[in-house]
Structure 1
Amino acid sequence: MAIDPSVVGRELAPVTAVIEAGRLALFATATGQDDPVYSDPAAARAAGHPGVPVPPTFLFGIELDQPEPFGWLTDLGVDLRHVLHGEQSFTYHAQAYAGEEVTARPHIAEVYSKKSGTLQFIAKHTRVTRVDGTAVADLESLIVVREPAPAHPREEQR
């Protein structure tokens, strides 16, 4: 099913979260960030930070902190069994720290297809801000929806 291009510009539900130090430490370990500034408040302060800084790419997970993080895709008629992660990128404006509250505000930026519509792409942009509106980062992700190949006529007869 083709994704309706009129969804471009649609704002998705914002997600607000308090950045937890323990979660930062787990994320840093899981992503191979062995620098103690990402897990030890004393090491972070010794390095000149006011607290434990958010490791690279952590902010992508904020949008997953909702009951149905992929509900926006199913609302578009996307079958999640055919979703692939295309790419993601981050533009940082300010460092975020443990204990801060941030809000992620996503919107659908672009929809297009390739290979005669068998691959559809949804570009989603998310602005992450502090409570006072200060920009922390802009996140971009590309979702690929692979349309299943039609069944071979002989297979349909079985």
Structure 2
Amino acid sequence: MAIDPAVIGTRTDPFETEAERGRLRFFAKATGQTDAVYTDLSAARAAGHPDLPVPPTFLFCLELDNPDRGRFLDDLGIDIRTVLHGGQRFVHHTAAYAGDRLTFWTEVRDVYAKKGGALEFLVRDTHVTRDGTAVATLTSTTVVRDPRAAER
């Protein structure tokens, strides 16, 4: 099944979620972060932060809070069993902190195929804002394997 390039430029509905301190502390511990600014409010404030800073890759975790996160692939008719995570990139525009209400929305940037269509690539930019100000852009590449490719 070929992904129609007409999806380039389409956007998901925005959703909001909060960067909650407990989740930030858990993420810092789970990822082996030893800098106290990510777990201790006093250390964060002593370092000049208003609250615990959001670690750079934690925004991907918050993106998963989207209540309709699987809908986009479903709408394209993509079987989740054929999907691989092909890459992730983060561009940070400003810092985010515990307690921030962040808005996420995603736009399809590109669609292309390789290996004669056996692999299709879906490149999406997720824009993260706080009160209308850009916080970060998360670029993800999803690889979709054509299950019929092995039969060719």
Give the TM-score category using the shorter length. over 0.9
The alpha-carbon deviation at position 69 of structure 1 amounts to: 1.5
Partner residue, 1:13:
13
Q: Could you state the TM-score of these two structures normalised by the residue count of structure 1?
A: 0.90
Partner residue, 1:50:
50
Larger Rg: 1
Partner residue, 1:91:
91
Cα 1:130–1:151 shift into 2, 3 Å: closer
Partner residue, 1:34:
34
1:115 maps onto 2:100 in alignment: no
Q: CA RMSD in A?
A: 1.5
Partner residue, 1:81:
81
Question: 1:138 is matched by which residue type in structure 2?
Answer: T
The alpha-carbon deviation at position 18 of structure 1 amounts to: 1.3
Question: 2:15 is matched by which residue type in structure 1?
Answer: V
Provide the aligned length of Structure 1 versus Structure 2: 152
Q: Could you state the TM-score of these two structures normalised by the residue count of structure 2?
A: 0.94
* TM alignment of 1:64-75, pairs within 5 A: 64-75=64-75
Cα 1:84–1:151 shift into 2, 3 Å: closer
Partner residue, 2:138:
139
Conservation of the 8 A alpha-carbon contact between 2:118 and 2:149: no
Matched residues in 1 for 2:139 and 2:149: separation? 31
Question: 2:144 is matched by which residue type in structure 1?
Answer: V
Identity, in percent, stands at: 55
Structure 2 unaligned residues grouped into runs of 5+:
none
The alpha-carbon deviation at position 141 of structure 1 amounts to: 0.4
The alpha-carbon deviation at position 8 of structure 1 amounts to: 0.5
The alpha-carbon deviation at position 37 of structure 1 amounts to: 0.8
